[in-house]
Amino acid sequence: MHYINYYNSPIGKITIGSDSSSLIGLWFEDAKYFGSTLSSEIIEKNLPIFEETKRWLDIYFSGNNPDFTPKLKLEASKFRLSVWNILLKIPYGQTTTYGEIAKAIAEQKGLAKISAQAVGGAVGHNPVSIIIPCHRVIGKNGNLTGYAGGLDLKRILLDNEKQ
């Protein structure tokens, strides 16, 4: 059983998902992979984790860097989890590239190389938008590429962090 609640952000309605104690998803409406971590049994309910997440989002959308992360529960392959953990370390207001993440994963695993495309796939399947800041990942030439919520939302989120 999973639970959902909603947050009306300045850039659109966000659906928040939980297992009752941890955050398992955060999606913009019509985003690719919307609700990907939700079970078929869903109840709309207000929970403490939703209040904490909404507080985080209020701080974020006011142009500030939240100094906490809501409790997350992420279920995925080891590779995806390692990519998402790197995303969590990208500083507010800064960006990195798929290639830089691939290089960091390769170093962690003692490998010569990891595909930046594989990293892109993991970044794209991030179920907790904004909080796990996949919008901070850009192409090697500084191009805005790939965002499940669309490139316009990615641009808005990056601009929000430059206030």
Closest CA relative to residue 128, chosen from 93, 78, 76 = 76
**Nearest residue to 65 via CA among 94, 107, 25:** 94
CA distance 24 to 47: 13
Choose, from 86, 119, 123, 134, the residue flagged as catalytic: 134
**Is position 134 annotated as part of the catalytic site?**
yes
Q: Tell me the angle at which helices 116-124 and 78-88 cross, rounded to the nearest 10 degrees.
A: 80
Helix (H, G, I), strand (E, B) or coil at 142: coil
Tally helices (H) and strands (E) across the chain: 5, 6
- Active site members: 134
